[in-house]
Amino acid sequence: MEERTSGFVQILREICREEEIRLQSFSDNWAHRLEKDGQTGFIVGYSFGLNSASVQEICRDKALTSMFLAEKSVPAAEHRFLPLPLSLTDEEMNAYLELCRTLLKKDGKLVLKDNYGTGGNRVYKIESLREAEETLRKIQGFSYAAALSPYYPIDAEYRVVMLDKKAELVIRKERAYRIENGKKVFTEWRHNLGQGATGVMETDERRISELSALAHSALQAVPARFASVDIIRVGEELRVLEINGGVMLEHFASQNALCRAEAKRVYRGAVLKMLAKAE
């Protein structure tokens, strides 16, 4: 069988070679054991051993993340937790639909998503109550809970990669589009790099500093050491959309040599922190 290696695994191999770290990979290159000078670290998927288990779980849970951020007054996109056990009663479903009705009345749209999803999969823009119910039933089929959000008319979405309180990388995600009659027509409403968006390095210094400050306060509320903080901008208002405890720069790195070098720099920093000896 041919070996499966992602761009991430290639980068990891280069870093380990250059830093004289022993690297062993397992489960189809999904998990890695790194060792140097008696220090050992593990990477599973895109999760480095730098975040505590509970913080990693909070990041995985969109509703919990938004609640812990709100608790510390960090501006965040609202995500309401809607548990969807198989035993969900009609009464409970009706209560959820009442929440949906209020949002639809206000904005004409809302967003329902798998509370634990990634990559833009299972994120749905909803425009009617019937659609809301169908979507909740669909999510119930594969997940324990949905998250309900108001629809934000996003002007831009950013990703700030933070390592130990420092913003290492600030990217703007430009949605996929095509040109029609000389005009930009977006072909996708979501900003995921895995759904065709392009990651562009943000160069506006003022923007970088306000995004970094918000990402920094997000990680004071949810204390991850290595994470990417996704931030949306509506007009001039910034809100944290989600925090990813696994730092996924796969698509970004594949865009060009400069992006790859940036991703490698970020991952090298995380690898070295992971293997650093305790003081």
Ligand X SMILES: Nc1ncnc2c1ncn2[C@@H]1O[C@H](COP(=O)(O)OP(=O)(O)O)[C@@H](O)[C@H]1O
**Chain residues that interact with ligand X, rule: CB under 6 A:** 62, 77, 111, 113, 117-121, 123, 149, 151-152, 154, 157, 190-192, 230, 241-242
CB of 83 to ligand X, least distance (A): 18
202 or 230: CB nearest Mg ion: 230
Beta carbon of residue 173, minimum distance to ligand X (angstroms, whole number):
7
Least distance in Å: CB of 192 to Mg ion?
A: 6
- CB nearer to ligand X: give 8 or 23: 8
Closer residue to ligand X, CB minimum distance, 125 or 268: 125
Q: Which does 117 bind (CB under 5 to 8 A by kind): Mg ion, ligand X, none?
A: ligand X
Strand (E) or helix (H) holding 114: strand 110-114
List all residues 6 or more positions away from 104 whose beta carbon is below 8 Å from its beta carbon: 110, 126, 127, 128, 129, 132
Q: Could you say which of ligand X, Mg ion, none residue 140 binds, taking C-beta under 5 to 8 angstroms by partner kind?
A: none
Q: Which residues does 152 contact at the CB level (< 8 Å), separation at least 6?
A: 77, 232, 234, 239
Q: Which does 119 bind (CB under 5 to 8 A by kind): Mg ion, ligand X, none?
A: ligand X
Which one, of 215, 203, 208, lies nearest residue 239 by Cα?
215
- Taking each helix axis from N to C terminus, what angle separates 62-71 and 53-60, rounded to the nearest 10 degrees? 110
Binding partner of residue 262 among Mg ion, ligand X, none, CB under 5 to 8 Å per kind? none
Take residue 59 and report the two structure tokens written for it.
């990041």
Which of 80-88, 98-106, 144-152, 222-230 is the region at the interface with Mg ion (rule: CB under 5 A)? 222-230
Kind plus residue range of the DSSP H or E element containing 216 = helix 205-221
User: Where is 180: in which H helix or E strand?
Assistant: strand 177-180
Q: 179 in helix, strand or coil?
A: strand
Give the range of 25-33, 63-71, 154-162, 224-232 binding Mg ion by CB under 5 A.
Answer: 224-232
CB 268 → Mg ion: shortest distance, Å?
24
Task: Calculate the alpha carbon distances from 116 to 138, 163, 222 in Å.
Answer: 14, 23, 17
* Nearer CB in complex with ligand X: 81/151: 151
Residue 123 binding target from Mg ion, ligand X, none, CB below 5 to 8 Å by type: ligand X
